[in-house]
Chains A and B, each alone.
Chain A
Amino acid sequence: MSRIAARRQSQSEIPTASTGDIAFLLIIFFLVGTTFRAAQGLKVVLPNAISTERILKKRNVQNLWVDKAGRISVNDNLVAVPTVTPILVEKIVENPDVVVVLQADKDVPYGYVTDVLEALKAARALKVTFATNYEMGGGG
């Protein structure tokens, strides 16, 4: 009787042999799930929108920044509007599925944005996303 009790006590331990495996699993998750930022970009305050969607394929993303003063940045280079087209043409040749994410400041006059959109259209970079933050509620 006493023997059985002793055996039960010795078995009541949480098995810790698999913690290492669990940790490695988490490491692999973080390695796959994160992408290191390629470009720093410009300082912008993004506008809010209720119907914000996530971009699922992160590998196809090409960021393009337009700051409050109307400066345009691609791959950490400040460029003028006419230079945007040849840069994007190159990107489209490399990867036809590229999605241009336009990170424009919420206070920039729309004229700068529409000029960039025309440059993208000329480069046939037709998949564009206006970067926004989530906004809660349905009123607007």
Chain B
Amino acid sequence: MAVSLRGRRGGSSNAGIPTASTGDIAFLILIFFMSTSMFAKEKGLKIVLPEPTPPGAEPAVKIPPQNLLNVDVNPQGQVQVSLASEPEKAEFVSVPQLREVLVGRLAANKDLVISFRVSRRAPYRVMIDVFDQLKLAKAERVSLVHVPLLEEGGGP
């Protein structure tokens, strides 16, 4: 009798769930998640669009032409910079030089607003390159001009 009791006791001391492999199981799940999941790589250039204006309405803010700098991109992807008050002094600027030109212009006039107008036929890449330069030059007030299809026929 006493022997059999001892035998039972010995049995109960062995009845535990083995936990030695939890680490291995966890690593297995970890490897599964690492191999199946992708990190969302959302990155880019931020812009806040203006409020929509009803068609035919006057623009809310009028900017004097001496404070308005036109940055135009033509269908060939060339960039032209000119003050709205002196359009005859327009100069072609290469994209890498643009940053310096803009920094100089912004230093000369603190109230400068940039009107960024891109041709419908210019490649998007050029627009991003120029927009990048505007960001690098710390140009805060940039207006992205929409060129309607009718104004520039033949394009997309």
Residue positions of A touching B, CB distance < 8 A: 16, 19-20, 23-24, 26-27, 30-31, 33-37, 47-55, 58, 61, 70, 101-102, 104-115, 117-118, 120-122, 124-135, 138-140
Q: Report A65 CB to chain B, min CB distance, Å.
A: 13
| Chain B residues with a Cβ closer than 8 Å to the other chain, count | 53
Contact with A along B22-59 (1 / 0, CB 8 A): 11011101100110011110111111111110000000
B-side contacts of A104, CB under 8 Å: 124
Does B103 make an interface contact (CB < 8 A)?
no
Residues A128 and B49 in contact, CB atoms below 8 Å apart: yes
Q: Determine chain A's interface SS by DSSP, over half rule.
A: mixed
Partner of B42, one of A51, A101, A140: A101
Does B64 make an interface contact (CB < 8 A)?
no
Given contacts A34-B38, A50-B136, 9 further A-B contacts (CB under 8 A): A19-B23, A27-B30, A27-B33, A49-B129, A124-B52, A127-B48, A128-B47, A131-B42, A132-B45
A-side contacts of B39, CB under 8 Å: 33-34
Known: A49-B132, A122-B52, A126-B48. A58 touches B120 (CB 8 A): no
Residues A20 and B22 in contact, CB atoms below 8 Å apart: yes
B-side contacts of A139, CB under 8 Å: 96
Contact with A along B84-114 (1 / 0, CB 8 A): 0000000000011011000000000000000
CA distance A125 to B48 in the complex (A): 9
B-side contacts of A35, CB under 8 Å: 40
Does B122 make an interface contact (CB < 8 A)?
yes
Q: Report B81 CB to chain A, min CB distance, Å.
A: 15
Residue positions of B touching A, CB distance < 8 A: 22-23, 25-27, 29-30, 33-34, 37-40, 42-52, 73, 95-96, 98-99, 118-129, 131-133, 135-136, 144, 146-147, 149, 152, 155-156
B-side contacts of A36, CB under 8 Å: 37-38
Name the residue of chain B whose CB is nearest to the CB of A33: B39
Instruction: Give me 21 A-to-B residue pairs in the complex whose CB atoms sit less than 8 angstroms apart, sorted by A's number.
Output: A24-B26, A30-B30, A34-B37, A48-B128, A55-B44, A58-B40, A104-B124, A105-B124, A106-B123, A109-B155, A112-B124, A114-B144, A121-B49, A121-B50, A121-B52, A124-B52, A126-B49, A126-B50, A130-B131, A131-B44, A132-B44
